[in-house]
C-alpha cells in the first residue's frame, strides 16, 4: 500500500483524542512528549489525514483544561506536593527544577504562565506551581488561555504549512517529503527549546551575579 493511502486509513478522531489527551496530561503535570505529539499530528494534517483547525482546537483545549486541573491540584496540595513529586521524579520535579520555575513565576507572574507554554520545564509545572503559589485564578486563566491558544495554534499552523511546502517541493516523492518535514519540524522544535532553556539560564545567572557582588 502507498504511504498516502495508508495515512488516509488513520481515523482522524483518534488523532484528535490522542493529541488532546497527551497535551492535557502533560499540562496537568505528567511528563509526556506533548510537543512531539502535536508536531507529528500537525504534519499529518498537511497530508490531509486530519483537519488542522480541529487539531489546533483540540490541542488548545487539552492545554487549557490540563493546566486548569493542574492549578487546582497545586492549590490543594501546596508546596508539600512538589516535595513528594521531587522524591519520586527527581528528573522533572527536583529542587533545582522547582526553584528555577518558582524564580520565573516570582519575577514575571502571568507572563511566566503564558511563555511557560513554550518551555518544556514550565509547561509541566506552570499549572500546579501557579496553584501552589496562590496566583489569583482569573490571572492564571487569562494567561493560560492565551498561552495555550498561541502555542497549540501557532505550532499547528507553522508545521502544517511547513509540511505543505515540503510536499509541494517533493511532489513525486511524498514519503520523502513527509520524512524531511518530520525531521525539520522536530529539529526546529529542539532548537527552540534549547534557545528557551538558554534564555532561562541566562536570566537566572543575573540575580546570582548581583548577590555575589
- What single-letter DSSP state applies at residue 174? H
**Could you give phi then psi for residue 29, rounded to 5 degrees?**
125, 5
Domain that holds residue 191: 3-212
Residue 159 Cα distances to 37, 61, 93, 126, 199, angstroms: 12, 19, 30, 24, 24
pLDDT 10s digits, 10-47: 788 988 999 999 999 988 878 788 888 898 888 888 87
Instruction: Report the number of distinct structural domains present in the chain.
Output: 1
pLDDT 10s digits, 160-201: 888 777 666 545 444 555 565 566 666 666 666 666 556 555
* Distance, CA of 72 to CA of 69 (rounded, Å): 5
Host H or E run for residue 1: none
- Give the Cβ contact number of residue 123 at 10 Å: 24
pTM: 0.67
Amino acid at each position: 500500500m502507498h504511504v498516502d493511502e495508508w495515512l488516509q486509513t488513520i481515523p482522524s478522531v483518534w488523532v484528535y483524542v490522542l493529541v488532546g489527551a497527551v497535551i492535557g496530561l502533560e499540562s496537568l503535570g505528567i511528563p509526556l512528549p506533548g510537543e512531539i505529539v502535536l508536531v507529528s499530528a500537525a504534519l499529518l494534517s498537511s497530508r490531509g489525514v486530519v483537519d488542522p483547525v480541529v487539531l489546533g482546537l483540540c490541542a488548545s483545549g487539552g492545554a487549557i483544561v490540563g493546566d486548569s486541573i493542574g492549578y487546582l491540584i497545586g492549590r490543594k496540595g501546596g508546596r508539600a506536593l512538589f516535595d513528594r513529586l521531587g522524591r519520586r521524579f527527581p528528573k522533572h520535579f527536583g529542587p533545582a527544577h522547582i526553584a528555577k520555575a518558582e524564580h520565573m513565576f516570582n519575577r514575571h507572574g502571568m507572563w511566566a504562565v503564558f511563555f511557560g507554554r513554550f518551555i518544556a520545564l514550565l509547561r509541566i509545572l506552570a499549572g500546579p506551581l501557579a496553584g501552589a503559589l496562590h496566583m489569583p485564578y482569573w490571572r492564571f486563566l487569562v494567561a493560560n488561555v492565551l498561552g495555550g491558544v498561541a502555542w497549540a495554534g501557532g505550532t499547528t499552523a507553522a508545521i502544517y504549512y511547513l509540511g505543505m511546502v515540503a510536499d509541494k517541493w517533493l511532489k513525486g516523492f511524498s514519503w520523502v517529503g513527509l520524512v524531511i518535514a518530520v525531521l525539520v519540524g522536530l529539529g526546529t522544535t529542539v532548537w527552540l527549546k534549547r534557545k528557551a532553556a538558554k534564555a532561562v539560564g541566562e536570566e537566572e545567572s543575573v540575580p546570582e551575579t548581583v548577590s555575589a557582588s
